[in-house]
């Protein structure tokens, strides 16, 4: 869909639509990402990649809950030295910004991985400081403002691309971590990663996921994610990618009104399919036209007026 209303600039990246592929879904290969671009995504975020390969957790790693998914994949990834080939290949075929999601077990690892991703052609880096269930990385870093600031500073000193920090909702006050990230130099924020959750099988009387605990995504978390975006927009001056349960155009509009400049879509692709991008884009465009707005930007944060 080619509506000028949907064009926007996010932290220096030109997006043709306000819908981006969220990390963790289909963001492994250049070909799968290209199919998401054809479906209407304005940007892509890869699966998180680290310095060394990881196999991730044993099955089951994902289960369907009533209103979403609970996953504990355990950061499976080939390691950045292998993944740079995919980034280079992706850059030869993709026509939208490629945001590489990066994790590490120290600030140095985050910076070294981000550096390799940027050298290979990443248009931006998303720092995963919010995976809820892998020890010594993810939310163990992102829930601690001092550690988070150290990671952001080190990465910012290493790469020239925009740096987006993906925040954890598993905190008392998300504005504290948002503020710490932006003060340390983050160019933008993604709100939010999954919410700590679990499932138990009444028949076996055991947790279902091999890791026992996982992260809940999908429609179940949308109101929580929306509140996180609203809270951050009120206190922190940085562009926000809304992430959490976006399934319909109305969800996307709500995130924009709360203060997001764009939204990420993940679980809706798994629960439906990639036609969700086109459906959301068309709906947002029709909403803007009907309400007399010329661009997405005109409704960002509009729900905050009093």
The per-residue DSSP string of 109-159 comes to HHHHHHHHHHHTT-SEEEEE---SSSTTSTHHHHT-HHHHHHHHHHHHTT-
Question: What is the closest distance, in whole angstroms, from the C-beta atom of residue 234 to ligand RRO in the complex?
Answer: 25
Catalytic-role residue among 67, 131, 228, 243: 131
Backbone angles phi, psi at 55, to 5 degrees: -85, -20
Is 245 among the residues that bind ligand RRO (CB under 6 A)? no
Establish whether 131 is a catalytic residue. Answer: yes
What are the CA-CA distances from residue 207 to residues 57, 103, 131, 199, 201 (Å)?
14, 27, 19, 6, 6
3 state DSSP class of 233: helix
3 state DSSP class of 33: helix
Residue nearest to ligand RRO (CB): 215
Q: Which stretch binds ligand RRO (CB under 6 A): 104-112, 113-121, 131-139, 144-152?
A: 131-139
Question: What is the closest distance, in whole angstroms, from the C-beta atom of residue 16 to ligand RRO in the complex?
Answer: 26
Which residues between 70 and 89 bind ligand RRO (CB under 6 A)?
A: 71-75
Q: Which stretch binds ligand RRO (CB under 6 A): 68-76, 110-118, 178-186, 223-231?
A: 68-76
46/71 with CB nearer ligand RRO:
71
Q: Which stretch binds ligand RRO (CB under 6 A): 9-17, 129-137, 202-210, 290-298?
A: 129-137
218/301 with CB nearer ligand RRO:
218
Q: Which of 193, 261, 264, 267 binds ligand RRO (CB under 6 A)?
A: 193
Token pair of 10, please?
A: 């996010």
Residue 176's contacts (CB-CB under 8 Å, 6 or more residues apart) are: 145
Q: Which of 131, 149, 236, 300 binds ligand RRO (CB under 6 A)?
A: 131
How many C-beta atoms surround the C-beta of residue 198 within 10 A? 18
Is 194 among the residues that bind ligand RRO (CB under 6 A)? yes
Question: What is the closest distance, in whole angstroms, from the C-beta atom of residue 138 to ligand RRO in the complex?
Answer: 6
Is 190 among the residues that bind ligand RRO (CB under 6 A)? no
Beta strands in the chain (DSSP E): 8-10, 13-15, 19-21, 43-45, 62-65, 68-71, 98-102, 124-128, 163-167, 188-191, 195-198, 200-201, 206-207, 213-217, 240-243, 262-265
Q: Which stretch binds ligand RRO (CB under 6 A): 128-136, 179-187, 232-240, 293-301?
A: 128-136
Token pair of 50, please?
A: 């680290």
Residue ranges in contact with ligand RRO by CB under 6 A: 24, 48, 71-75, 128, 130-132, 138, 193-194, 215
Catalytic residue positions? 131
């Amino acid at each position: 869909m080619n509506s000028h209303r949907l064009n926007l600039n996010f932290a220096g990246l030109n997006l043709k639509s306000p819908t981006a592929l969220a990390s963790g879904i289909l963001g492994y290969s250049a070909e799968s990402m290209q199919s998401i671009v054809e479906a209407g995504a304005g940007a892509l975020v890869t699966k998180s990649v680290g310095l060394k390969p990881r196999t991730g957790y044993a099955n089951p790693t994902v289960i369907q809950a009533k209103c979403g998914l609970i996953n504990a994949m355990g950061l499976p990834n080939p390691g950045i030295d292998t993944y740079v080939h995919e980034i280079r290949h992706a850059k030869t075929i993709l026509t939208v910004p490629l945001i590489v999601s990066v994790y590490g077990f120290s600030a140095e690892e985050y910076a070294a991985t981000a550096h390799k991703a940027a050298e290979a052609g990443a248009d931006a880096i998303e720092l995963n400081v919010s995976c809820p269930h892998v020890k010594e990385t993810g939310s163990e870093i992102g829930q601690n403002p001092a550690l988070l600031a150290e990671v952001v500073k080190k990465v910012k000193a290493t790469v020239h691309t925009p740096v987006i920090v993906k925040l954890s909702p598993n905190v008392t006050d998300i504005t504290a971590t948002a503020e710490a990230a932006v003060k340390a130099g983050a160019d933008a924020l993604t709100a939010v990663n999954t919410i700590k959750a679990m499932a138990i099988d009444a028949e076996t009387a055991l947790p279902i996921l091999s890791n026992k605990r996982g992260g809940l995504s999908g429609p179940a978390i949308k109101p929580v994610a929306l509140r996180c975006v609203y809270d951050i927009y009120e206190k922190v001056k940085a562009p926000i990618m809304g992430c959490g349960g976006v399934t319909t155009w109305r969800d996307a509009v709500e995130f924009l009104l709360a203060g997001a400049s764009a939204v990420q879509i993940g679980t809706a692709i798994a629960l439906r399919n990639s036609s969700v991008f086109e459906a959301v884009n068309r709906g947002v465009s029709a909403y803007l036209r009907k309400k007399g707005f010329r661009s997405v930007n005109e409704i960002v944060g509009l729900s905050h007026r009093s």
